[in-house]
Amino acid sequence: MVVKSDMEEDFIRFCEIWELPRFRMNQKVGGVERDAVRPDEKVIVELDTRKYHGDLIAIESDRKRRRRATVAGWKHLEITGIDLSRDPAQVAADLAAVLALRDWRPPADASTRWAEVLGSARGIWLPKA
């Protein structure tokens, strides 16, 4: 697995801590390299930083890439370092919800801290308190 940044390493650790599935890092989808990919579920995660995604050219390029991925049937999430540090539970829930929409479920041997939120039409998974 090729990791190109500290944020990518943080995301890998984040997924391990929250018992989310492993993503393929820096893989191409439609000829374009993406930060993190789950091909089976067709989910892309872009790890956004101002350094690489903050100027007008980058913003326009990101929109075009996102649009192309959506047309090809991929779900696309953007996560920032601030998201990971300030509200990791919500990021984990959002990511798990998107994966669940694509039929992902935590493995049977996952820790019991993952439980489906009762009454949720979206099938969001949140850690137990």
The three-class DSSP label of residue 25 is strand
Determine contact, residues 75/98, Cβ cutoff 8 Å.
yes
pLDDT in single tens digits along all 129 residues of the chain: 677 788 899 999 999 888 899 999 999 888 888 899 999 999 999 997 666 556 677 677 777 888 888 888 899 899 988 888 888 888 888 898 899 888 887 766 665 555 443 233 334 444 444
The pTM assigned to this predicted structure is 0.75
All domains in the chain, ordered by first residue: 6-127 (3.40.960.10)
In angstroms, the CA 46 to CA 69 distance is 12
CA quadruple 83, 71, 117, 95: dihedral positive or negative? negative
